[in-house]
Amino acid sequence: MYSSAEMNEMKKFFFYDYCNVSSFMKVESYNRDLYFSKVMPSLRYADSTAWILLECIDKLLKSQNCYQIEYTDVGIILISDYGTLDTIHRFHDDAQNGFISPLRFVASNPASTVGFVCTYLNIHGPTLTLPTPLENCESIISIMLQKWFKRQNLEHIIVASLQKDQKNFTCKSILIKKDYQYKGYSDFAPEFFRKGE
């Protein structure tokens, strides 16, 4: 466990110069059957939330011509308490009918959402999926940013959240650079961790 002093020190890692780039998406509806890739034959099955996350991060990277960065130096942290529940429910329904799809089994793993994004965008850095409500993650993210920038020798970290209310998905993503400058805590943490708009 970390002391309160250590936690306060770690929170400084929210004060990043983060390229002034972020991506926000609100999805009113989505296609539950959008599982088969139209782009790459090797990507054949993914939970619907993986497509939403992919579009959000793709938009984030394109907005600042970030496709020039070295993708072995990029980490991704996803926060989502909804995760792959749609695929899990479909997998459960299939099992009740005596059939288990190996593809759905893999896609039901909450970490597969980030894995899908990494495969599609050819990102090879570390990943972490936190299946917990957004408001519970500030301290965890602080610690992971500190550790990854120092020990994993990363140049960029993408922090993304994918949340769902009664009918909408809200996806946010932000790109944080290693060469941060300490600024006010309000730079992105309160805005990013505020649940849905």
> Between these two residues, 52 and 190, which has the higher pLDDT value?
52
pLDDT at 5: 56
Question: How many whole angstroms separate alpha carbon 84 and alpha carbon 94?
Answer: 15
One-letter amino acid for residue 148 of the chain: W
- Residue 77 sits in a domain of what CATH number? 3.40.47.10
pLDDT at 15: 34
**Residue 128 is encoded by which pair of tokens?**
């972490």
Q: 45 — alpha (psi -120 to 50), left (phi > 0) or beta?
A: beta
The closest alpha carbon to 174, from 15, 14, 21, belongs to 21
- Pairing between β-strand 156-164 and β-strand 74-79 as defined by DSSP bridges: parallel
8: CB partners within 8 A, 6+ apart: none
Quick one: pLDDT band at residue 87, thresholds 50, 70, 90? low
Quick one: pLDDT band at residue 28, thresholds 50, 70, 90? very low
Mean pLDDT of the chain: 67
Instruction: Look up the domain containing 17 and give its range.
Output: 4-193
Give the model confidence (pLDDT) of 130-184 as tens digits: 888 777 777 788 788 878 888 777 888 888 888 777 667 778 888 887 765 434 3
Average the pLDDT over each of 25-29, 52-56, 151-155, 178-182 and give the range with the smallest value.
Answer: 25-29
pLDDT at 6: 45
Number of structural domains found in the chain: 1
Question: How many whole angstroms separate alpha carbon 88 and alpha carbon 95?
Answer: 10
Tokens 């110069």, located at residue: 17
What does the H/E/C string look like for the chain? CCCHHHHHHHHHHHCCCCCCCEEEEEECCCCCCCCCCCCCCCCCCCCHHHHHHHHHHHHHHHHCCHHHCCHHHEEEEEECCCCCHHHHHHHHHHHHCCCCCHHHHHHCCCCHHHHHHHHHHCCCCCEEEECCCHHHCHHHHHHHHHHHHHHCCCCEEEEEEEEECCCCEEEEEEEEECCCCCCCHHHCHHHHHCCCC
> Between these two residues, 193 and 136, which has the higher pLDDT value?
136
Give the pLDDT mean for 91-116.
71
Quick one: pLDDT band at residue 27, thresholds 50, 70, 90? very low
pLDDT at 77: 92
176: CB partners within 8 A, 6+ apart: 16, 18, 19, 145, 156, 157, 158, 159
**Residue 134 is encoded by which pair of tokens?**
């957004």
Give the model confidence (pLDDT) of 59-86 as tens digits: 888 776 665 556 667 899 998 877 666 6
pLDDT at 42: 52
